[in-house]
Amino acid sequence: MKVKVAILGCSGRMGRNLIQAAVEHESVELVGGSVRESSSFANFDLGELAGIGTIGQKTSVGLEDLSAADVLIDFTSIESTFENLNWCLQHNKPLVIGTTGFNDEQVKIIEDAGKQIPVILAPNTSVGVNLMFKLLEITAKAIGDYTDIEIFEAHHRFKKDAPSGTAVKMGQVIADTLGRDLNKCAVYGREGITGERSPETIGFSTVRAGDIVGEHTVFFADLGERIEITHKASTRMTFAFGAMRAAFWLSEADAGYYTMQDVLGL
């Protein structure tokens, strides 16, 4: 049986790709999508919005019309995600959160929601990126203690948060593996006379330019050699199909707080 999904934030860059992915995915059925109250796309055909032709389903304002969904998929903004999370808690609906940029306190609130509903926090829904998290863990375990670790990320000019949620997650995976506290060892940019690099730091560098979909590289650099692990996304459909996979998985899960590592069995 197909899992009924609704897309929250369906007029956004990701939202439009999510509509297309939901229509194309064999295990998923699209039952609706939400836009902001002020949106010019209110009561607009979802297929037209995604550029795939009319599908006869209209966008909604608010979530009340989306109660037929088995799972909701949120790619909106931090503030809206919490409104959506509250609705899901009130209506006992599983939620996939693709929105990024949450601080530790906000992540804790989402974790707590997992006591009541199944919820996935997935700052990156690409299968390749989640495999990269595993490769980073293996590499950090083997050589992280004596190499300089630097994380580079590049995204399109419209992205609102920096560094990307994915870059932060990469730093978190490495810090956890090495027993470091990311809040203490992260360096977000350098300028002026910075002195020599301290060995325990994990550096972050951010580029915002043009239409770059999403690129991440991690250096493990020693004197004489270095390993670079890179992931490049060339289309948002990668994230959109990953989100459908997450929604399908979540539809069968018990209440709990999950990540894409759970979805992919990594």
- Report if residue 257 touches ligand NAD, rule: CB under 6 A: no
What is the C-alpha separation between 29 and 49, in angstroms, rounded?
Answer: 17
**Binder of ligand NAD out of 3, 4, 7, 11 (CB under 6 A):** 11
DSSP state of 238: H
- 159: annotated active-site residue: yes
Point out which residues pair with 74 in neighbouring strands.
8, 97
Smallest gap from Cβ 130 to ligand NAD, in A, equals 10
Residue-level length of the chain:
266
Look at the block and give the residue holding tokens 């692990």.
229
**Mapping DSSP to helix (H, G, I), strand (E, B) and coil, where does residue 209 land?**
coil
Residue facing ligand NAD at closest CB distance: 12
Give yes or no: 91 in active site: no
Written as one letter, the residue type at 157 is R
Site for ligand NAD in 36-75 (CB under 6 A): 36, 39, 75
Asked if residues 208 and 159 have their Cβ atoms less than 8 Å apart, the reply is yes
End-to-end CA distance of the chain: 26
DSSP 2: P
Among 13, 58, 91, 208, the residue binding ligand NAD under the rule CB under 6 A is: 13
* Residue from 4, 6, 15, 85 in contact with ligand NAD (CB under 6 A): 15
Minimum distance from residue 180 beta carbon to ligand NAD (Å): 25
Locus of tokens 């989306």: 66
Q: Which of 93, 155, 169, 216 is catalytic?
A: 155
Please state, in angstroms and rounded to a whole number, the distance separating the CA atoms of residues 53 and 181: 49
Only segment of 31-39, 103-111, 167-175, 249-257 that touches ligand NAD (CB under 6 A): 31-39
Nearer to ligand NAD, 7 or 185 (CB): 7
Where does this chain bind ligand NAD (CB under 6 A)?
8-9, 11-15, 34-36, 39, 75-77, 80, 83, 98-101, 122-125, 239
Active site (catalytic) residues: 155, 159
